[in-house]
Amino acid sequence: MAEMKTAAYVCQGCGLGERLATQQLAQVAQKEGKMALVREHPFLCSEAGVQTIRDDIEKEGVTHIAIAACSRRAKTEAFHFPAVAVSRANLREGVIWSQPDTEAARETTQEMADDYVRMACAEVKRMKAPAGNPDVARNTRLLVVGGGISGMTAALEASKAGYPVTIVERAAALGGWAAKLWKRTPAHEPFQAPAETGVAAMIEAVRADPNIEVRLSSTVARTSGAPGRFSVEIAAESGGAATEEFGAIVQASGFSLYDASKLPELGFGKSPNVVDQAGLERLAREAAAGNAPIRRPSDGGEVKTVVFVQCAGQRDASGTHLPYCSGHCCATSIKQAMYFKDANPAVDTAVLYTDLRVPGNGEDFYRSGQSKGVVFTKGSVRAVEPAGNACTVRFRDLILDEDAAIENADLVVLATGQVPNSGVDIEKVAQNEPGEWQSDASSVLNLAYRQGKDLPLLRHGFSDSHFICFPYETRRTGIYTAGPVRRPMDIAQAVEDATGAALKAIQAAENAALGRAAHPRSGDLSFPTVRLDGCTQCKRCTVECPFGAIDEDEKRYPVFNESRCRRCGTCMGACPVRVISFENYSVDTVGAQLKAVDVPDEFSEKPRILVLACENDAYPALDMAGMARRTYSAFVRIIPVRCLGSVNTIWVSDALNSGYDGVMLMGCKHGDDYQCHFVKGSELANYRMSKIDDTLKQMALETERVATYEVAITDIERVPRLIDEYAAKIAEIGMSPLKGFA
C-alpha cells in the first residue's frame, strides 16, 4: 500500500454545529489526532460533502479517513469508501442526542465529543483497508452426505442452478426413509388422501442428471480443508477410498426411528401385532404388492380394529425417552388410518392423542380423516397388553377424566419419534489432537478439525444452528445441515430445508472463491493474521474459536483456515500474548482508542468509564437510546467491538492503568438461549472477566471497577440506566488511585 495519508472530517449538521464547538474538534483532530488534512462541513453526508471526501481520496491521495458525524450505523450509503480505511466518531447519537441540551452539560458534552474525535483519529491510523484473504480457492462442486429426500433434493436443486454435486450414501440405494413409505401425507390441495411419495421419480432424476455423481455404500472417512477447498476421503464399503475436492458440504444424514423396544409397556416386542410407524408402512407396502388388505401379522387374520398411539416415547417429561415432539407423527397416523379406511370403511381406526398437531393445511387432512370415520380420542395411553392375536389398549380418557380401554385391537401402531443421525458428540469425546487423528465409523463427517469430528450439537442431539433468524448457520463454515438431522421434520419441510441448504452451500463456495466472510459478517474481507514468532502455542485460540476454524500444526502452532473464519475476533480476545489481529480490527486499533481519551486528574470529579459494547446488539441499543433522546452519563467513552468474545483483557488492564475509573462490558445473552451471533463469544468473555478479579487485586483496585452486562437490542431504556447506575457506583467507590501514573 502507498504511504498513509490521513484526513478527518467534522460535520456541523443535525445540530452538531450548534451544540458543539466544531472548530475545536477540528483542532483536536489536527493537533492531537495528527490528521494531515482536516475539514469541517455544514452537511457532510450531502452530495457535496461526500464529493469533498471522494476528491480528497482521488486527488490528494488520502488513504485513512476519520468521519466525525453520526453513528456508524447511519448514512452508510453516503459514507461508503471501500478503498480506504474509515473510522467514525459518533457525535450525533453518541453525544448530542444522549446528552442534555443544557448550559450545565455543555462542557462535559464537548469533552465527550473531543474524546470521540481523538479516538477515531487514533483508530484509523492503526487500520488498514483489508487487502483480501489469502485462503482463496474456487471449487464449486458440492458434497451432499446422505441420499434420502433431503440429500437428493439438495443435489437436484444445486444442479439446476449449474453446480455439480456428489452424493455419498451409506446404504446400497438412494431413497432413505421415504423409500420405505407406501404413501406420504399430501403436500397439495385438496389434502384429503395419502399421496404418492415420488421417491422413485426423484431417484430417476438424480440418476439421469449428468451433473450429479452418486456413491452408494460409501461413507465419509475424512474431511479436511475449508470452504472452497474441502478435501474429502470417500470410503466404499467394498474397500478402497478416493479423495476428492469440494467447495462446500450439505449434511443430510437424516434420522433413525426411536427404538420402540424401549417401550415394552406399550407391547412392542411382545406381539408382532404391535408395530411402529415404519412397521406399518412395511405392512402396507407388502399388502399393496399382493394387492390385498393389510393383515394381522400374528396370524394373517383380518384387521378390524387399529389403534394409533401418539407420542410413543416422545414428549416424555420423565427423562427416559425423547422429550421433544417429532412434528410429523400426527399427520402420519392420520395417513396410516386412511390406509385402512380408504380400503375398507368398516375397519375401526382410533387415534389416541394428547394434542393433535397438524398445522397449516394439515387441518384439512385432519378434517378428511374425521369425515372418513377415523376416531380421535384425547387420551394418554398407559399400557398395551397383547393376548393371543388381540391387544388391549389401556388409556386415561382425558375428556371424561377416567380410565378406559380398547379391547380386541388387531393392530397397534406406535408413533415413535425421530432421532437425528448427527454423528459423534464432540463435547463428549476427546478433541482431535494433531498427529493422533483416526477415522471414526460413528462419525458422519470425520472432520480432521482440531475441535472434533462432527458439527457441535444443540439440545437433544440435533446439529446446532441459530434456529430462529438464521436457521442454516452452523458452527462449521461451509457445512450446512438439512432435513431431520437439524430438527424433526416431515417430507415437505425437508424439501424446503434442503433447497435452502443447497443455496447456502453454493453461497459458501462462491464467497470462499472471493475471500469473503460468511454470515453474519457477510462480505467482510478482513481476516485474522497471527505473528507466529510471538506465539506460545497455548492453544487458547484453537480451543475457543466458536467455529472450529483454527487447527494446529505438528509443532502445535495455530493454523488459521481463513475461509472457515467468521471474523468475530474471539481468537484475538483469547490470545494472551496478543499476536492475533485483523487489518482493520486489532488489539492496537482498540487499545489506541482507549489510550487516546483525555483522562482528567483525580481531583476533577470527572471519572472516565470505558464501555466495550457488542456492535450487534448493545451498540444499536445505545444508538436507539440516543435517537429517543434518553440521556446518560457524560463520563462514558464507548467503543463498539465485533463481539464481546473479541475483548482482550489487555484492553481492560490498559484502561485501568491509564486511569479509567471503571470498565463496562456489554454483550449478548449467553447460555442455552444464547443470543450471541457468534454463539460462544459473550460466554467466553464472561468467563474471562470472571477471572479478572485477581488482576484487579494485584493492581489494588476494587473488583467493581470491571462489570459485565448482558444487553439486548431492545434495552433502550435499560442501557442508559445501567450506565447511570454504574457511574453512581464509581462515584461511591471513588476515583481510581492509578490516575496520573500512566
Partner 1 sequence: MATVVATNQTILVVGGGVSGMTAALEAAECGKQVVLVENTATLGGRTANLYRYFPKLCHPTCGLEINLRRLKGNRNVRVLTLAEVTAVAGTRGDFTVTVRRSPRYVNENCTACGACAEAVSAEVPNPWNYGLDKLKAAYLPHAMAYPQRYVLDPSIIGTPDAEKAKAACKYGAIDLDMKEETLELKVGAIVWATGWRPYDAARIQPYGYGRFPNVITSVEFERLADPHGPTGGKILRPSDGKEARSIAFIQCAGSRDENHLRHCSRICCMASLKQTQYVREAFGEEAQSTVYYIDIRAIDRFEDFYARVQRDPTVKFVKSKVARIAEDQTTRDPILHGVDTEGYHRYANRHDLVVLAIGMEPSVKGVDIPAEVVADSSGFIEAAADGAAVFGAGCATNALDVNRSVQNATAAALRAIQVVNRAARAES
Sites for partner 1 among residues 397-416 (CB under 8 A): 398-401
Which residues inside 261-300 make contact with partner 1, applying CB under 8 A?
none
The C-alpha cell that represents 641 in the structure block: 467491538
Q: Which stretch binds partner 1 (CB under 8 A): 124-132, 202-210, 612-620, 720-728?
A: 612-620
Residue 487 touching partner 1 (CB under 8 A): yes
Residue 103 touching partner 1 (CB under 8 A): no
d(CA 280, CA 307): 12
Sequence-separated contacts (24+) of 198-205 with Cβ below 8 Å: 199/149, 199/175, 202/149, 202/152, 202/153, 202/156, 203/152, 203/173, 203/174, 203/175, 203/179, 205/152, 205/156
Residue whose C-alpha is closest to residue 8's, from 84, 95, 94, 93 = 84
Which residues inside 519-548 make contact with partner 1, applying CB under 8 A?
519-520, 522-524
Number of residues lying near partner 1 (CB under 8 A): 87
Residue 504 touching partner 1 (CB under 8 A): yes
Identify whether the C-beta of residue 66 lies closer than 8 Å to the C-beta of residue 35: yes
**Least distance between partner 1 and beta carbon 522 (Å):** 5
**Among 86, 181, 337, 506, contact with partner 1 (rule: CB under 8 A):** 506
Task: Please report how many Cα atoms fall inside a 13 Å half-sphere around the Cα of residue 631, on the Cβ side.
Answer: 11
**Least distance between partner 1 and beta carbon 725 (Å):** 18
- Bridge partners of 295? 302
Q: At what angle do helices 149-160 and 199-208 cross, to 10 degrees?
A: 40
Residue 604 touching partner 1 (CB under 8 A): no
**Least distance between partner 1 and beta carbon 626 (Å):** 10
Which residues inside 133-192 make contact with partner 1, applying CB under 8 A?
157-158, 160-162, 187-189
**Which run of H or of E encompasses 479?**
strand 479-481
**Among 192, 211, 224, 361, contact with partner 1 (rule: CB under 8 A):** 361
Nearest residue (CB) to partner 1, 111 versus 623: 623
Residue 670 touching partner 1 (CB under 8 A): no
The C-alpha cell that represents 668 in the structure block: 449478548
**Among 323, 373, 434, 737, contact with partner 1 (rule: CB under 8 A):** 323
d(CA 310, CA 322): 13
**Least distance between partner 1 and beta carbon 662 (Å):** 26
Identify whether the C-beta of residue 307 lies closer than 8 Å to the C-beta of residue 155: no
Give the dihedral of Cα atoms 100, 590, 612, 515; nearest 10 deg. 120
Identify whether the C-beta of residue 550 lies closer than 8 Å to the C-beta of residue 510: no
First to last CA, the chain: 34
**Among 30, 262, 278, 324, contact with partner 1 (rule: CB under 8 A):** 324
**Least distance between partner 1 and beta carbon 459 (Å):** 7
Residue 370 touching partner 1 (CB under 8 A): no
Identify whether the C-beta of residue 432 lies closer than 8 Å to the C-beta of residue 446: no
Cis upstream peptide for 456 (omega within 30°) = no
What order of strands is seen across the sheet that includes strand 662-667? 636-641, 609-614, 662-667, 706-710
**Among 110, 197, 451, 511, contact with partner 1 (rule: CB under 8 A):** 511
Nearest residue (CB) to partner 1, 344 versus 714: 714
Which residues inside 32-51 make contact with partner 1, applying CB under 8 A?
43, 45-46
Phi, psi of 215 (to 5 degrees): -115, 105
Residue 461 touching partner 1 (CB under 8 A): no
The pattern of x and - marking residues 7 through 26 that bind partner 1 according to CB under 8 A reads ------xxx-----------
For the chain, the farthest-separated pair of C-alpha atoms sits apart, in whole angstroms, at 97
Nearest residue (CB) to partner 1, 410 versus 497: 497
**Among 317, 346, 441, 700, contact with partner 1 (rule: CB under 8 A):** 317
Residue 471 touching partner 1 (CB under 8 A): yes
**Among 503, 535, 696, 699, contact with partner 1 (rule: CB under 8 A):** 503
Which residues inside 203-262 make contact with partner 1, applying CB under 8 A?
none
Which residues inside 620-639 make contact with partner 1, applying CB under 8 A?
620, 624, 627-628
Residue 362 touching partner 1 (CB under 8 A): yes
